[in-house]
Amino acid sequence: MATLATSSLWPPCGHVGATLLLLMMLSIFIEITWCAQGTVNFREKEKQVLDQILGPGRYDARIRPSGINGTAGEATLVSVNIYLRSISKIDDYKMEYSVQLTFREQWIDERLKFNDFGGKIKYLTLTDAARVWMPDLFFANEKEGHFHNIIMPNVYIRIHPQGSVLYSIRISLTLACPMNLKLYPLDRQVCSLRMASYGWTTDDLEFVWKDGDPVQVVKNLHLPRFTLEKFLTDSCNSKTNTGEYSCLKVDLLFKREFSYYLIQIYIPCCMLVIVSWVSFWLDQNAIPARVSLGVTTLLTMATQTSGINASLPPVSYTKAIDVWTGVCLTFVFGALLEFALVNYASRSDMHRENMKKQRRQYELEHAASLEAAADLLEDGATTFAMPPTLLERLLAKLRLKAKIRASKPLVRRPGDALTLEKVRQCEIHMQPQRDNCCRTWLAKFPTRSKRIDVISRITFPLVFALFNLVYWSTYLFREEAEEN
């Protein structure tokens, strides 16, 4: 009995074990099958999803997506952000700048939702923008632009399972940048990048900046003559007779590097002005040297000024660099005119000295003739039928005139006690005490031409130093005021 009972219990236990073994093998087979599908067939699943959501008769790219949460009456929100890759140049003459950037747009299209198969499909990637609806964005201040197609077109569209669409493209643009050059080259310029909708009004489409970090700039951004100080994002919606259109802008604040202009413009101009002052220390009779020095510095300064203006647009207002070059050119031209004045004064002094010599010679000859006439009249007084009193008066008058003219120091003689210079010094010392030290100092230089040179040696540097003080204080303070 015991043996029979034992044998009757084994079949059920064997059946259960076989069932468990069969279930285990079945689960292993199913797992192997799923693994095989995950490694091999998920690309096929992506194709099936794309055919499902973008197949013929399923999606119309001409119809814009609904608003937030599928609201039909609301505008479609498009989030925008840009990555500034490089700025190749900022042209002052054409008032434009070239930039290369990665432009991104993101919006939600409820029609593009799909099953991600438990997170196995993160997003779908497209390269043909015509397959889905795209915002009609354009760059309002664009002059030129092109896409990058080497080696493949630098563009992609990512569709996420929740219906979020990300559009990214790399483009190069040449944008207009109206500049105010009143403080050039101590200026700051604001160049904008404007993006707006061309056909959809704000009732249908609205652009917004991406939350967090809407504009990224490459870390090693380098410009030859500018520094990107900061950037500001804002909206710039525009209203026309066809409606209001959404617009976004980013303002790039550039500061001009002054060291380049200090070395290339300001220091050379200062050197030319100082070189023109060398003529004040040359002899007034060195006419070829002084003329060649003045003309050379004037032509060099004029060439420098024309070279500066050639790189700038012809604006109607006065720039800071125009004030500097104009004053420097005036100083160089003034030094040349100073030599002309010195030359004229020198010839005037020579003419005056010649006239004085002639007058002295004439007075000496006239005095001698008067003495001879007086002697003749005295010797022949008995032959005249004049009254004695009248003859005596005539003789006395002739003798007095002869003595007066003979007593004047008309000619310098080695034996004279007082020379001409000593007489002038005595006259200066005999003048009233109101004469200041400047006149006393100028009296050391007998000719007017020499005095003009001496005064110019002091006046020109002092006036130029005063101009520098006023110039730099004025424009530097204006720069700080505009910055604040």
Confidence of residue 114 (pLDDT cuts 50, 70, 90): confident
- Would the pLDDT of 359 be above 90? no
DSSP state at residue 242: T
DSSP state at residue 230: E
The SS3 of residue 366 is helix
Question: 316: buried, middle or exposed (CB in 10 Å: 19+, 13-18, 0-12)?
Answer: exposed
Q: How many CA atoms lie within 13 A of 24 on its CB side?
A: 6
Cβ atoms 391, 383 nearer than 8 A: no
- Residue with the bigger pLDDT between 251 and 33: it is 251
* Cα–Cα distance, 240 to 196 (Å, whole number): 13
- Would the pLDDT of 390 be above 50? yes
As given in the structure block, the two tokens for residue 1 are 């009995």
Per-residue model confidence as pLDDT tens digits over 238-294: 998 999 999 999 999 999 999 999 999 999 999 999 999 998 888 878 888 888 998
3-state secondary structure 424-440: HHHHHHHCCCCCCHHHH
- Would the pLDDT of 422 be above 80? no
Confidence of residue 424 (pLDDT cuts 50, 70, 90): low
Per-residue model confidence as pLDDT tens digits over 428-463: 454 555 556 666 665 666 677 788 888 888 999 999
- Would the pLDDT of 399 be above 70? no
Q: What are the beta bridge partners of residue 248?
A: 195, 235
Q: Kindly report the pTM of this predicted structure.
A: 0.69
* Cα–Cα distance, 339 to 346 (Å, whole number): 10
Residue closest to 456 by CA, chosen among 334, 314, 316, 311: 334
Chain-centre distance of CA 257, in angstroms?
8
Q: What are the beta bridge partners of residue 137?
A: 197
Confidence of residue 464 (pLDDT cuts 50, 70, 90): very high
Least confident stretch, 177-186, 214-223, 375-384:
375-384
Chain-centre distance of CA 173, in angstroms?
22
The SS3 of residue 91 is strand
C-alpha radius of gyration, the chain, whole number:
50
The residue to which tokens 């073994």 are assigned: 21
H-helix or E-strand spanning residue 369: helix 320-379
- Would the pLDDT of 354 be above 90? no
H-helix or E-strand spanning residue 405: helix 388-407
The residue to which tokens 């909206």 are assigned: 235
H-helix or E-strand spanning residue 174: strand 164-176
The residue to which tokens 């005036």 are assigned: 330
Apex 294 CA angle, 290 and 299, nearest 5: 150
* Cα–Cα distance, 387 to 392 (Å, whole number): 9
Cβ atoms 265, 211 nearer than 8 A: no
The SS3 of residue 88 is strand
The residue to which tokens 């005037």 are assigned: 348
